[in-house]
Chains A and B, each alone.
Chain A
Amino acid sequence: MLALLCSSFALAETKDGAKDGDLKTEIKEYIAHHLQDSYDFSLFSYTNDQGEHVYIGLPLPVILWDNGLKLFSSSKFHHGETVANVDGNYYALYHNKIYKTDAAGTINYDEDHHATNSKPLDLSMTKSVVSMLLVFAIMFFLFKNLAESYAKNGGIASGVGRFFEPIVLYVRDDIARPNIGEKKYKKYMSYLLTIFFFIWFLNILGLTPLGVNVTGNIAVTFGLALLTFLITNLTGTKDYWLHIFDPLGSTMAWYAKVPLYIILIPIEVLGIFVKPFSLLIRLYANMQAGHIVLMSLIGLMFIFKSWLGSPLSFGLAFAISLIEILVALLQAYIFTMLSALYFGFAAEEHEHH
């Protein structure tokens, strides 16, 4: 895994044997490029003897809505080097975004150096989308097999199911039950198991040399946190809403509550939004930071210009990779755990005396 990552770095580096300052910028750009989503699934690239860039990987479909559906392969962009011509319309990649241009691919700028070209509605199958679909497929077959093996073997899991059964039971017995409560936890189990394995598998996939960074993409974590937000508030009981809008209950006279509630209620309402927001930032920042650290350590190899650099950077990167495997599981656990905790708040029912 590391060897492949290193080799992709080495190949990127040979693009132009530049000076020291340029090298640092190039490493920075390379890391930034790795963290972004892209329109093709390229594994690595190199420059051949004729000075052409050769990319090894898969092009992905680009789907645009621009006065009608435009569907074409991302290989038409040649990694941003050419302008794609689709039935007389021209599209160009600029800073990893698709803009509508003329045949020459001119990008116009305003004073702040932002592109002013019109942007078509982009519904493309990007690298992240493909990775997520891959994880959906893996999860579907894995857990379908697990479920079927119970029926076949009389209640005993077989094959890889033996590895996943204890994890499923852990999510049920140590995350859902204590946080949500014996009565209601079943309703939330399907969601909790799905996000746990979805985040875990995507985190692990991010550590492979495929170079996908799905859970380090704020749009993806926003989607996951939005689901938790919706489920928490849509399944909220009367007691949950009472806790927000009338936290002191009948223990106080109404005229004593008014000055308190001017402060309390806005804080409680803010809390509804802060909880899922912290979920989305935590997952995004952890995965993003992990990738940056790992890539920077590998990048050290090219900054230290001595034989010591390679073993040092390899050793550090190896250690960080091991920690990242732990973080991948820990972040999936934390996300599921906190979601379960919020569901527990939403599902709570006080005993009225």
Chain B
Amino acid sequence: MEIPVMVGAGIIVIGVGMGIGRIGGSAMDAIARQPEAYGKIQTAMLIAAALIEGIGFAALFAV
């Protein structure tokens, strides 16, 4: 059975959403525990989110 490309892209986007959601949530936790490290946590969060986001876009462009 062949799975349509769009379904695959949708699954990837769900994964990307969950991944970025987890990064954001964990960053919130970390900031709540150590508010003084806010800047460093935010930077690390944005880098990780940007890297995952790239995969999401790659999936969307494959459609």
Q: Show the binding face of A for B, using Cβ within 8 Å.
A: 174, 178, 278, 281-282, 285-286, 289, 330, 333-334, 337-338, 341
Q: Does B50 contact A (CB under 8 A)?
A: yes
- State in angstroms the CA–CA spacing of A286 and B58 once bound together: 11
Query: Are A281 and B43 neighbours in the complex by a CB distance under 8 Å?
Result: no
Query: Are A281 and B47 neighbours in the complex by a CB distance under 8 Å?
Result: no
Query: Are B50 and A334 neighbours in the complex by a CB distance under 8 Å?
Result: yes
Q: How far is the CB of A199 from chain B (nearest CB, A)?
A: 14
Q: Which residues of A contact B50 (CB under 8 A)?
A: 282, 334, 338
Q: Which residues of B contact A338 (CB under 8 A)?
A: 47, 50
Interface residues of B in 43-63 (CB under 8 A from A): 43, 46-47, 50-51, 53-54, 57-58, 60-61
Query: Are B43 and A174 neighbours in the complex by a CB distance under 8 Å?
Result: yes
Known: A285-B57, A289-B60; 16 extra A-B contacts, CB below 8 A, are A174-B39, A174-B43, A278-B51, A278-B54, A281-B54, A281-B57, A281-B58, A282-B50, A282-B53, A289-B57, A330-B46, A334-B46, A337-B43, A337-B47, A338-B47, A338-B50
Q: Which residues of A contact B61 (CB under 8 A)?
A: 281, 285
Partner of B46, one of A278, A285, A289, A337: A337
Q: Which residues of A contact B53 (CB under 8 A)?
A: 282, 286
Q: Give the dominant DSSP class at B's interface.
A: helix
Query: Are A285 and B43 neighbours in the complex by a CB distance under 8 Å?
Result: no
Q: How far is the CB of B58 from chain A (nearest CB, A)?
A: 7
The contact size tier of chain B is 10 to 19
Query: Are B39 and A282 neighbours in the complex by a CB distance under 8 Å?
Result: no
- State in angstroms the CA–CA spacing of A282 and B49 once bound together: 11
Q: Which residues of B contact A337 (CB under 8 A)?
A: 43, 46-47
Most chain B CB within 10 A, of A278, A338, A341, is at A278
Q: Which residues of B contact A341 (CB under 8 A)?
A: 47
Q: How far is the CB of B61 from chain A (nearest CB, A)?
A: 7
Would you list 10 pairs from A and B whose C-beta atoms are within 8 A, ordered by A residue?
A178-B43, A278-B54, A281-B57, A281-B58, A281-B61, A286-B57, A289-B60, A334-B46, A337-B47, A338-B50
- State in angstroms the CA–CA spacing of A333 and B51 once bound together: 14
Q: Which residues of B contact A178 (CB under 8 A)?
A: 43
Q: Which residues of B contact A285 (CB under 8 A)?
A: 57, 60-61
Q: How far is the CB of B3 from chain A (nearest CB, A)?
A: 23
Q: Which residues of A contact B47 (CB under 8 A)?
A: 334, 337-338, 341
Query: Are B54 and A333 neighbours in the complex by a CB distance under 8 Å?
Result: no
- State in angstroms the CA–CA spacing of A337 and B49 once bound together: 13
Query: Are A333 and B57 neighbours in the complex by a CB distance under 8 Å?
Result: no
- State in angstroms the CA–CA spacing of A159 and B60 once bound together: 44
- State in angstroms the CA–CA spacing of A6 and B41 once bound together: 40
- State in angstroms the CA–CA spacing of A278 and B53 once bound together: 10
Q: Which residues of A contact B46 (CB under 8 A)?
A: 330, 333-334, 337
Q: Which residues of A contact B60 (CB under 8 A)?
A: 285, 289
